[in-house]
C-alpha cells in the first residue's frame, strides 16, 4: 500500500519536494511583506507548517522518506486552501497554486500517490469555491478546476508510467546477457561487493571457463560456439538455487556466486557443475554431438577476503590451477 503512494525516485522526489516547499514559503512571505508590510498570523502559521514538512523530508534518509514525500503536496494543498479561506479569495491566483501540488505529484509519485493528491485538490477546491462564491458560480468554477486537475494528473501520470516502464526495460537489458540469459558482470560485481561487505556471510564464488572453446568455434562455427555457451549456461542455471547469481563475465567465462552456502556444500555443488557439463554433451540441430567440459575455480567467502577484487583474484588463481592440472575439473583456492 505504502509503495503505491511513494516516490518513483526517493532522492529526486525528496529534493524537489523540499525545493518546492521552500519556494512556496519564500513566495508567501515576500507577497505578504510587499502587499501588507507585515506578516499576519495565518500566513506565518502556514509557512511554519510548510517549513516543518520540508525539514522532516530533508532530515529523513531518502529511502525512508519515499512514502513520506506524499506529505509535501498534501501540505501544499492544505496551505493553499487555508489561505484562500482566510483571505476569502477564490480568484485565479489561488486556483493556480492549487494545481501545482498535482503537477509535482504526477511528476514524482507513483499513480496511487498522484491519485491521493488529485483527490485532495478536488476536495480543497470544493471547500474554497462553495465557501466563498455563490452556488452557481461555485459549481462552474469547481467543474472547470476539477476537469483541468484530473486531465493534468492523468496525462502526466501516464507519461511517468511509460517512462518508468522504459527505464526498467533498459535496466533489465543492461543487466542481462542476450545470448545466455544470464546476468552480466555488472550485476555480479554488485552482488559480490554486497556479499564481501556483509561480514559473516557464508558462500563461495566459482569462476568457470569452457575448455578448448576456440576449437569448438573453429569446428562448428560461431553459431556452434554460441550454442555451447547457452548450453552450459542452462546446465548451470538448472543446478542453482533462486538466491544464487549466475553470470556471464565475458567471452567463454562464466561465474556462479553461491550465497548462504557453507564452503563444503559449495564445493560439492561446483563439482556437480563440472560433472553435468561432461555428462550432458551439446546436441546441434543437425544431430551432431559436441562433447564439452569446463574448468572451475572456487574460493569461499571468508574474513580473509579483503574485497570483491580479492575474491575474483582467488577464484581466478584456482581456475588456472584447474587448467594446469588437465582441465575438466574443479580446483579450490587455498
- Looking at residue 304, what DSSP letter applies? T
Query: Shortest CA distance to 253 belongs to which of 192, 172, 323?
Result: 323
Cell of 100: 501545482
CA distances to 19, 191, 204, 246 from 259, in Å: 42, 10, 7, 11
Q: Is the dihedral of CA 101, 103, 109, 113 positive or negative?
A: positive
Query: Shortest CA distance to 226 belongs to which of 145, 284, 142?
Result: 284
Cell of 82: 487555508
Query: Shortest CA distance to 2 belongs to which of 162, 109, 154?
Result: 109
Give the whole-angstrom CA distance, residue 48 versus residue 60: 18
Query: Shortest CA distance to 67 belongs to which of 101, 110, 99?
Result: 110
264 part of the active site: no
- Contact of 67 with 10, CB cutoff 8 Å: no
- Contact of 4 with 161, CB cutoff 8 Å: no
| Active-site choice (252, 264, 316, 328) | 252
Give the whole-angstrom CA distance, residue 269 versus residue 4: 40
Which residues are known to be catalytic? Answer: 252
Amino acid at each position: 500500500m505504502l509503495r503505491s503512494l511513494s516516490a518513483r525516485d526517493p532522492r529526486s522526489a525528496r529534493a524537489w519536494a523540499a525545493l518546492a516547499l521552500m519556494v512556496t514559503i519564500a513566495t508567501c512571505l515576500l507577497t505578504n511583506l510587499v502587499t501588507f508590510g507585515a506578516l499576519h498570523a495565518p500566513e506565518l502559521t502556514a509557512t511554519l507548517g510548510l517549513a516543518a514538512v520540508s525539514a522532516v523530508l530533508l532530515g529523513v534518509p531518502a529511502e525512508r522518506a519515499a512514502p513520506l514525500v506524499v506529505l509535501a503536496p498534501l501540505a501544499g494543498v492544505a496551505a493553499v486552501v487555508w489561505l484562500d479561506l482566510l483571505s476569502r479569495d477564490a480568484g485565479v491566483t489561488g486556483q493556480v497554486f492549487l494545481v501545482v501540488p498535482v503537477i509535482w505529484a504526477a511528476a514524482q509519485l507513483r499513480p496511487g500517490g498522484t491519485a491521493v493528491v488529485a483527490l485532495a485538490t478536488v476536495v480543497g477546491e470544493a471547500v474554497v469555491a462553495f465557501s466563498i462564491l455563490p452556488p452557481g458560480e461555485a459549481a462552474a468554477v469547481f467543474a472547470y478546476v476539477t476537469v483541468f486537475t484530473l486531465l493534468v494528473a492523468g496525462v502526466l501520470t501516464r507519461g511517468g508510467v511509460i517512462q518508468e516502464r522504459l527505464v526498467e526495460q533498459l535496466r533489465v537489458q543492461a543487466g542481462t546477457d542476450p545470448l545466455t540469459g544470464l546476468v552480466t558482470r555488472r550485476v555480479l560485481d554488485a552482488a559480490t561487493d554486497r556479499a564481501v561487505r556483509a561480514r559473516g556471510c557464508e558462500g563461495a564464488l566459482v569462476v568457470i571457463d569452457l575448455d578448448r572453446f576456440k576449437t569448438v568455434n573453429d569446428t562448428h562455427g560461431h553459431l556452434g560456439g554460441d550454442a555451447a555457451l547457452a548450453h552450459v549456461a542452462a546446465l548451470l542455471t538448472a543446478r542453482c538455487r533462486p538466491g544464487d547469481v549466475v553470470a556471464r563475465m565475458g567471452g567463454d567465462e562464466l561465474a556462479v556466486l553461491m550465497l548462504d552456502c557453507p564452503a563444503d556444500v559449495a564445493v560439492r555443488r561446483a563439482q556437480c557443475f563440472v560433472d553435468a557439463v561432461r555428462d550432458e554433451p551439446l546436441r546441434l540441430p543437425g544431430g551432431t554431438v559436441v562433447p564439452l567440459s569446463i574448468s572451475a575455480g572456487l574460493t569461499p567467502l571468508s574474513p580473509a577476503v579483503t574485497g570483491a577484487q580479492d575474491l575474483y583474484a582467488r577464484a581466478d588463481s584456482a581456475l588456472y590451477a584447474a587448467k594446469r592440472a588437465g582441465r575438466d575439473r574443479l580446483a579450490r583456492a587455498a
